[in-house]
Amino acid sequence: MSFELTEDQAAIRDMALSFARDELAPNAVEWDQKKHFPTDTLRAAGDLGMGGIYVSEDHGGSALSRLDAVVIFEALSQGCPTIASYISIHNMVAGMVDSFGNDEQKAYWLPKLCRMEWLASYCLTEANAGSDAAALRTRAVRDGDSYILNGAKQFISGAGSSDLYLVMARTGEDGPGGISAFLLPKDTPGLSFGANEHKMGWNAQPTRAVIMEDARVPASALLGQEGMGFKFAMKGLDGGRINIAACSIGGAQAALDKALTYMGERKAFGQTLDRFQALQFRIADMATELEAARTFVHRAASALDAKSKDATRLCAMAKRFATDTGFEVANDALQLFGGYGYLADYGVEKIVRDLRVHQILEGTNEIMRLIVSRSEIGRMA
């Protein structure tokens, strides 16, 4: 594999960086403080093809690779990791509809999802089924030409604002084989939402419970076949994990860049901070760790594009490494600001808060270690 971006990939990156610089970065702190979900800005991203990054062109997608996608998400996160991460979640839903939906579902949902005219949320986690997602209790019961869903999903990004909810619900026995996937429009009778959660970070996107009380949908809302939902969810998460890893790298890169600018201006003991060797060494380590994480994420994305048998393992490795590294680099950048880094004005403390959750979502980093260890042990069996 090449370690250099192609000319087309560099152009895609520059487009995303421009959008991040012009549309996201100037508003990121205000959106965070006001808990404002910028739907107009998201639709502007959709106009640039960011609503269906790896959706086929037949239904309005950009038909880009997973490697192209992580380049985009890293760039967007340099403007605001919160909004970039929501765009990743939206794309995960759009990509699953494109991969597993029938012709009617694709024709109905994908054009508006790709334009981000309709926004999407991914609904897997429950209050008592987080890391153990196969233990979910939300149930869907067939009733003639309909399904009736009952249950609640927790920690759902975009909930209450999104137009489409991809819901994993149990149609059969306990365990992963009894889980199916359903497409629920926002106006589904019996569908409601909890209060917007008060969070440490990610404040520019709403996080609510998604509640289903005898929520009735037509049988055509079933994505694929009964019993395939958990497989769909896990395949979607491979891509989601490297996307969120890329968001960590982008956020941390922005924090490092802010610290470098500050160190070139701030003086102590008669010289700017960037003249002190101890701080230069810290900058070198931060930059090296970020470059290692970036290379790893590109490697995992390339494996996913190639449908490699090692893709799931590599995506788990890259997610663990990049999200841990991104948080540590952002936290070190805050330290380089001294007391000013703790103030909201500079935007670094927001990045630290935003990146912390990346070590939890899309599968906690402990679960990533479990996936990797099982693979390694199995390799030697």
Residue-wise DSSP of 116-142: TSS-EEEE--BTTBSS-GGG---EEEE
The whole-number average pLDDT for the span 272-287 is 98
Whether pLDDT at 289 is above 80 = yes
pLDDT of 1: 63
| Confidence bin at 140 (pLDDT 50/70/90) | very high
The whole-number average pLDDT for the span 55-61 is 96
Do residue 108 and residue 128 come from a single domain?
no
Catalytic residue among 7, 74, 362, 376: 362
Do residue 138 and residue 212 come from a single domain?
yes
Whether pLDDT at 71 is above 70 = yes
Candidates 115, 139, 135, 118; CA nearest to 127 is 135
* Annotation says 362 is catalytic: yes
The reply to whether 2 falls in a domain is: no
The reply to whether 1 falls in a domain is: no
Q: What is the mean pLDDT of the chain?
A: 97
**Which distant-in-sequence residues (6+ apart) come within 8 Å of 351 by Cβ?**
81, 251, 252, 254, 255, 330, 333
148 burial class (0-12, 13-18, 19+ CB within 10 angstroms)? middle
Vertex 189 angle, CA 185 and 195, to 5°: 80
Do residue 201 and residue 243 come from a single domain?
no
The reply to whether 146 falls in a domain is: yes
Per-residue model confidence as pLDDT tens digits over 12-56 = 999 999 999 999 999 999 999 999 999 999 999 999 999 999 999
Number of H helices, E strands in the chain: 11, 10
Do residue 102 and residue 147 come from a single domain?
no
Q: What is the pTM of this model?
A: 0.96
| Confidence bin at 381 (pLDDT 50/70/90) | confident
Do residue 256 and residue 355 come from a single domain?
yes
CA distances 185 to 213, 237, 274, Å, are 15, 22, 53
Angle between helices 66-77 and 81-100 (to 10 degrees): 160
The whole-number average pLDDT for the span 137-146 is 97
- Domain final position from 79, 97, 119: 119
The whole-number average pLDDT for the span 63-78 is 98
Do residue 274 and residue 168 come from a single domain?
no
